[in-house]
Amino acid sequence: MGLLAKAFFDRDPAVVARELLGATLVRQWRERRLRGRIVETEAYYGTDDPASRAFSGKVTALNAAMWEAPGTIMVYMVHANWLFNIVTQPRGVSSAVLIRAVEPLDNFDLLLTERRKRNPAVAARRDLCNGPGKFTQAFAIGRELNLQSLSKSTGIWVERGSAPQDVTESHRVGVTRDLRRKLRYYVSGNSFVSKPATVTPKGFA
DNA sequence: GTTCCGATTTTCT
DNA sequence: GAAAATCGGAACA
């Protein structure tokens, strides 16, 4: 119920990123159903966005998903971490939304177990999914989901949730060259966000 | 083959 | 806060 359909993602990535806040990400995995409230996202455009994997305009095995149909999953590795993105806009247009953090809603024991495979020191609930790589660890998301689409059959999808009271915009985190426009969105005051403070970019395009 | 890099995480001071 | 650790893919030779 309340499953976000293809049409939801067939829009500008900034709009999708903003409206994804408060939605519930659901992962069906080994007889368990993991849920997280999306609290932090970033929008990425295509060839005109220097922070985008599609910036070169060249299609490679790594970025091909970005031109796929809206609702397609794009997973790729940065600094030894898998990052989870949802493709936006029509097929043929490259853009996507990165899920940067979710607030765990249940199955905390399982999320903790998955996180501890990489970092045995993790203990606090707020450290389970407060970063794009931490979230994929906890939710057992890997490359096998790349080029799949959001749906119950692939074991990962998004359901409508409760819209946040207030949203903060900031520059995207960690990118070498950002756009002037602020394309990171997070739920104001939420303690499961990766970096509550405003982050200044290394450089502008 | 080798080198270099990054939309990060972790650990150390 | 700063620095090290991490690894798959691209680019070069």
Query: Which nucleotide is the nearest neighbour of A99, by CA and C1'?
Result: B7
Nucleotides of B under 7 A from a protein CB: 6-11
Reported confidence tier of residue A80, pLDDT bands at 50, 70, 90 = very high
Least reliable range by pLDDT among A52-61, A69-78, A189-198: A189-198
pLDDT of residue A204: 79
d(CA A32, CA A30): 5
pLDDT of residue A121: 96
Reported confidence tier of residue A56, pLDDT bands at 50, 70, 90 = confident
**pLDDT by residue (tens digit) across A104-149?**
999 999 999 999 999 999 999 999 999 999 999 999 999 999 999 9
pLDDT of residue A2: 87
Strand B and A37 CB separated by under 7 Å: no
d(CA A190, CA A41): 13
Strand C and A143 CB separated by under 7 Å: yes
- List the structure tokens of A188: 């104001």
Task: Name the CA dihedral angle for A63, A181, A84, A129, rounded to a multiple of 10 degrees.
Answer: 160
**pLDDT by residue (tens digit) across A190-204?**
999 998 766 677 777
> B2 C1' – A80 CA distance, angstroms?
20
- SS3 per-residue string spanning A171-193: CCCCCCCECCCCCEEEECCCCCC
Is 70 exceeded by the pLDDT of residue A46? yes
pLDDT of residue A82: 97
Strand C and A117 CB separated by under 7 Å: no
d(CA A157, CA A36): 11
- Mean pLDDT over the full length of chain A: 95
> C10 C1' – A5 CA distance, angstroms?
34
Strand B and A139 CB separated by under 7 Å: no
Q: What is the CA radius of gyration of chain A?
A: 16
Reported confidence tier of residue A1, pLDDT bands at 50, 70, 90 = low
Residue with nearest Cα to nucleotide B7 C1': A175
Give me the numbers of helices (H) and strands (E) for chain A, helices first please.
4, 8
Average pLDDT value for residue range A86-113? 97
